Structure 1
Amino acid sequence: MSQTPDSAVRTYIEQHRAAFLDDLAAWLRIPSVSAQPDHAPDVRRSAEWLAAKLAETGFPTVEVWPTAGAPAVFAEWPSDDPDAPTVLVYGHHDVQPAAREDGWGSEPFEPVVRDGRLYARGAADDKGQVFFHTLGVRAHLAASGRTAPAVHLKMLIEGEEESGSPHFRELIESRADRLAADTVIVSDTGMWSEDTPTVCTGMRGLAECEIRLAGPDQDIHSGSFGGAVPNPATAAARLVAALHDEHARVAIPGFYDGVVELTDRERELFAELPFDEKQWLSTAQSHAAHGEAGYSTLERVWARPTAEVNGIGGGYQGPGSKTIIPSTAMVKLSFRLVAGQDPDHIEQAVRAWADRCVPDGIQLETVFGAATRPCLTPLDHPALRSVARAMSRAFGAPVRYTREGGSGPAADLQDVLGAPVLFLGVSVPSDGWHAPNEKIELDLLFKGVETSAYLWSDLAEHWRDAP
């Protein structure tokens, strides 16, 4: 009796499960910690290891791309259908620092399987989730009888994500012709829980700044001069107080220009998730929820722009009192941005707002760092529907939709390549990214393999479907 396509995929995966885990363990043993200069040779070794494994998988083009920092890996496997869509898979091969004395139950770079979980630094973030595509594409070929993927498949695996991707934008701009794609799949994320498979549809962007305020040329006596000259610490406090209105909305004029509002359907889908606010508050180690009026906690974190005070300082900070008017003060602010917001516009709006809020006699310097743009894929996009269908087939359950409240380099890919960004990840919150005892659930890891195996044919078949 011939197998169905799904059973053929599962059979192939099971037959190659042990070898796949052996290979992944070998990669996890390489301590590719990009933030520590002593590990620079290991990061390069990690890139070279992955490049060799992608060539062994079948990718006819595999290259290690140098940057001013750590290397990235590029691979390409054209479809035999010239009209097939081009898909770029993004991930990273560098990892966070880890040491046994941090609280690990085993050596962080010596992978170990316990109770159906693979423990090692990088198991979930992000080597495991990159690597499942290697077995996934092979299972896709075996089950379909193809000699090349149903899509033009590319991979870009960077080596500096855990260091803030300082050279990533430059890399993709310089290689944009090689990276050109119809859609991008980011496998550096997770899902809601083991029992609730989800697809992320967007990430917020980020802009951040430090506002430096200077008054008198030196600290001066508050009795002799207080009340008669401007105080930079008071000006800093007034800035912070003016940041939000009584409804916790950002009060900077023009801040909400262009914001893509949540649809009723998106709000319904968020509300369907099994969200336990008490548990969420426990994880946040907070005693109450708070935010913009008219929105739920998930809507605030995923789909609304925010302004946060990251630091405020000025004047005497030691024990006892020191009755001065300080000469300087500062405020550090960060802004999470949603689809439709332009970081350049936000910077201009913040500068103008700060200028208006500060009194005469206070010198103001506002310094912005590099910004990250938001990204969002509409629910009716055919590529998003393909990801959801592939995941649903693998998990045997309906797939729900989430967003990410944080920010990452995925938005750079969308911005430079002009392609929608989709997220395919199978990690769960308990996997402990960046923490001691990072792990990945093996059952979920192989569901990721299976999802990858189904995805390429589905994308090829439905790419041109009308929304």
Structure 2
Amino acid sequence: MSQTPDSAVRTYIAANRIDFLEDLQDWLRIPSVSAQPEHADDVRRSADWLAGKLKETGFPTTEVWETPGAPAVYAEWPSDNPAAPTVLVYGHHDVQPAALEDGWHTEPFEPVVRGNRLHARGAADDKGQVFFHTLGVRAHLAATGRTTPAVHLKLLIEGEEESGSPNFRALIEDRKDRLTADVVIVSDTGMWSETTPTVCTGMRGLVECQIDLSGPDQDIHSGSFGGAVPNPATAAARLVAALHDEHARVAVPGFYDGITELTARERELFAELPFDEAEWLRTAKSHGAYGETGYSTLERIWARPTAEVNGMGGGYQGAGGKTIVPSSAFLKLSFRIVAGQDPARVEQAVTDWVATRLPEGIGHTINWTGATRPCLTPLDHPALQSVVRAMGRAFEQPIRFTREGGSGPAADLQDVLEAPVLFLGISVPSDGWHAPNEKVELDLLMKGVETTAYLWGDLAESGPTAAP
């Protein structure tokens, strides 16, 4: 009796699971910590290891791409169907720092399997989620009898994500002709929980600044001059107080211009998630929820823009009192932005707003750091529906939807390549990204393998078609 396509995929995965996990553990033993210069050779060794393993998997083109920092890995496997869509998979091979004294139960770069969990730095973030694509494409071929994938498949695996991706945008701009794609799949994300599989549909962007305020040329006596000259610390406090209105909306004129509002359907889907606000507050180490009036907690962190005071200072900070009008003060602000907002316009709006709110005699400068754009894929996008169907086949249950409140390089891919970004990850909150004893659930890792085995065929049948 012949197997169904799904059973053929599962049979192949089961037969190759042990070898797959042994290979993954070999990769996890390489301490590819991009943030620590002493591990630069290890990051390069990680790139070389992955390029070799992708070649062994069957990718006819595998290359290590140099950057001014750590190297990235590129691989390409064309389909034998010239009209097939082109899919680019993004992930990263660098990892966060880790040491036994940080609270690890075992050496962080010596993988350990306990029960059905694989513990090691990078197990979930992001080596495990990159590596499941290798077995997934092989299972796809084995189950379909194909010799090439059903899509033109490309991989770009970055080496500096954990260091803020300082060279990533320049890399994809320089290599845009090689990276052209109809769809981008980001496998550097997670799901709601072990029992609630989800697909992320978007990430917020980020702009940050420091505002330096100056007043008198030096600290001066508050009795002799206080109340008669402007105080930069007071000016800083007034800026902070004016940043939001009474409904916790950002009060900067033009800040919300162009925003893509949540649809009624998206709000319904968010509300269906098993969200426990009390538990979320415990995780946040907070004693109360707060935010823009008219929106739920999930809506606020996933789909609404924000302004946060990250730090402020000025004047005397020591013990006791010092009766002065300080000569300077500063603010550190960050703004999470959502689809429809342009980072440059937000920066200009804030810059103009600050200038109008400072009294005569207070000088100021604003320094903006590099911006990250937001990204969002509509629920009805055909490629997103392909991801949902593939995950549904693997998990054998309905797939729900989330967004990500943080920011990342995915938006650069969408911006430069002008392709929709889709998120495919199987990690769960308990995996402990960036924390001691990071792990990945092995059954979920195999679900990631299975999802990709189904995804390429689904995208070929119903996803966007590549230009001839």
Task: Give TM-score, length-normalised by structure 1.
Answer: 0.99
Q: What's the CA shift string for 1:105-162, capped at 9, x where partnerless?
A: 1110000000200000000000000000000000000000000000000000000000
Matches within 5 A, 1:411-422: 411-422=411-422
Query: Which residue does 2:4 correspond to in 1?
Result: 4
Matches within 5 A, 1:209-248: 209-248=209-248
Give the AA of the match of 1:73.
Answer: V
- For 1:136 and 1:79, locate their aligned partners in 2 and report how far apart those are by CA, in whole Å: 15
What SS does structure 1 have at the residue aligned with 2:18?
helix
Give the AA of the match of 1:458.
Answer: D
Show structure 1 runs of 5+ residues with no match.
Answer: none
Query: Which residue does 2:328 correspond to in 1?
Result: 328
Give the AA of the match of 1:164.
Answer: G
- For 1:341 and 1:46, locate their aligned partners in 2 and report how far apart those are by CA, in whole Å: 37
- For 2:430 and 2:84, locate their aligned partners in 1 and report how far apart those are by CA, in whole Å: 38
Query: Which residue does 1:33 correspond to in 2?
Result: 33
- For 1:451 and 1:464, locate their aligned partners in 2 and report how far apart those are by CA, in whole Å: 19
Query: Which residue does 2:455 correspond to in 1?
Result: 455
Asked if 1 retains the 8 angstrom alpha-carbon contact of 2:85 and 2:464, the reply is: no
- For 2:305 and 2:161, locate their aligned partners in 1 and report how far apart those are by CA, in whole Å: 24
Give the AA of the match of 2:47.
Answer: A
- For 1:368 and 1:383, locate their aligned partners in 2 and report how far apart those are by CA, in whole Å: 35
What's the CA shift for 1:244?
A: 0.1
1:401 lines up with 2:401 in the alignment: yes
Matches within 5 A, 1:141-152: 141-152=141-152
- For 1:316 and 1:118, locate their aligned partners in 2 and report how far apart those are by CA, in whole Å: 50
Give the AA of the match of 2:437.
Answer: N
- For 1:312 and 1:243, locate their aligned partners in 2 and report how far apart those are by CA, in whole Å: 14
Give the AA of the match of 2:66.
Answer: P
Query: Which residue does 1:199 correspond to in 2?
Result: 199
What's the CA shift for 1:463?
A: 1.2
Query: Which residue does 1:343 correspond to in 2?
Result: 343
Query: Which residue does 2:83 correspond to in 1?
Result: 83
- For 1:434 and 1:464, locate their aligned partners in 2 and report how far apart those are by CA, in whole Å: 35
Give the AA of the match of 1:200.
Answer: C
1:307 lines up with 2:311 in the alignment: no
Aligned residues: 465
Give the AA of the match of 1:180.
Answer: T
- For 2:361 and 2:419, locate their aligned partners in 1 and report how far apart those are by CA, in whole Å: 48
- For 1:86 and 1:326, locate their aligned partners in 2 and report how far apart those are by CA, in whole Å: 59
What's the CA shift for 1:414?
A: 0.3
Asked if 1 retains the 8 angstrom alpha-carbon contact of 2:383 and 2:464, the reply is: no
Query: Which residue does 2:296 correspond to in 1?
Result: 296
Matches within 5 A, 1:21-420: 21-420=21-420
Query: Which residue does 1:446 correspond to in 2?
Result: 446
- For 1:238 and 1:322, locate their aligned partners in 2 and report how far apart those are by CA, in whole Å: 21
Give the AA of the match of 1:37.
Answer: P
Query: Which residue does 2:433 correspond to in 1?
Result: 433
- For 1:259 and 1:212, locate their aligned partners in 2 and report how far apart those are by CA, in whole Å: 29
Displacement over 2 Å in runs of 4+: none
- For 1:330 and 1:183, locate their aligned partners in 2 and report how far apart those are by CA, in whole Å: 43
Task: Give TM-score, length-normalised by structure 2.
Answer: 0.99
- Percent identity between the aligned chains? 80
- For 2:464 and 2:262, locate their aligned partners in 1 and report how far apart those are by CA, in whole Å: 26
- For 2:157 and 2:87, locate their aligned partners in 1 and report how far apart those are by CA, in whole Å: 14
- For 2:341 and 2:427, locate their aligned partners in 1 and report how far apart those are by CA, in whole Å: 29
What SS does structure 1 have at the residue aligned with 2:266?
helix
What SS does structure 1 have at the residue aligned with 2:210?
strand
Give the AA of the match of 1:415.
Answer: D
Give the AA of the match of 1:280.
Answer: W
- For 2:53 and 2:357, locate their aligned partners in 1 and report how far apart those are by CA, in whole Å: 57
Q: What's the CA shift string for 1:268-326, capped at 9, x where partnerless?
A: 00000000000000000000000000000000000000000000100001000000000
What's the CA shift for 1:464?
A: 4.4
Q: What's the CA shift string for 1:204-259, capped at 9, x where partnerless?
A: 00000000000000000000000000000000000000000000000000000000
- For 1:4 and 1:115, locate their aligned partners in 2 and report how far apart those are by CA, in whole Å: 30
- For 1:356 and 1:107, locate their aligned partners in 2 and report how far apart those are by CA, in whole Å: 55
Q: Give RMSD over aligned pairs.
A: 0.6
- For 2:298 and 2:108, locate their aligned partners in 1 and report how far apart those are by CA, in whole Å: 33
